[in-house]
Structure 1
Amino acid sequence: MAISDLVISARDQLDPLMCEVVAELEAADNAYPLAFFTQILMSLRSTTDEEELMELFFRLSTTAFQGFVFSPPETQRVDELLESCEQIALTLSVGGSAH
């Protein structure tokens, strides 16, 4: 099964943002959120369809409820990532309603 252009584009856009989050957390030795975001990064890299992408966004949407404590730079990186996910999710929902 071919991977849709939208999924490829989303992965290309989100991978560097996710890597920045992971690097920031790794540098600060912030173990619990590091494990969470590393797992999501691995899921992102193996995502092959829009349903998996939306599932990944759902998992990311739980970030605020995980009890993580972020430094200001970590917060900025996470916010940038979540904003990008929101934009992509909006694109997916608009595209999905046309089917």
Structure 2
Amino acid sequence: MSDLTTVGELNFLNHIRSKLSLADNEEKFLAVFLELSTVMYSGYSFSNLQLEKISDILGKCEKIALTFSADSTKLN
């Protein structure tokens, strides 16, 4: 984390990390995705590197949620 990261940002990210570590189904991953996607409107200030990592996490949450919701009865 950047030296400029405040307690508020750290608490937010720790909350997300906690929820992400407990996510074991589509709904929980989607909940993390939705909550993390609010970061741009949160008023928190993150470095460009932190925002890149947040974007990566959002992409991974989305892929995992889509994997959970994939119709396994259809073959490619």
What TM-score bracket applies, with the shorter chain setting the length? Answer: 0.5 to 0.7
Q: Count the aligned residue pairs.
A: 72
Separation in 2 of the partners of 1:88 and 1:76? 18
Q: Which residue of 2 aligns with 1:29?
A: 5
TM-score by length of 2: 0.68
Distance 2:45 2:23 in 1: 28
Given residue 71 of structure 1, which amino acid in structure 2 is its aligned partner?
S
Q: Deviations over 1:40-97 (max 9, x none)?
A: 111111223222221111111211111222222222222222232233334344x1xx
1:87 corresponds to which residue?
Answer: 63
Greater Rg, structure 1 or structure 2? Answer: 2
Which sections of structure 1, spanning at least 5 residues, go unmatched? 1-23
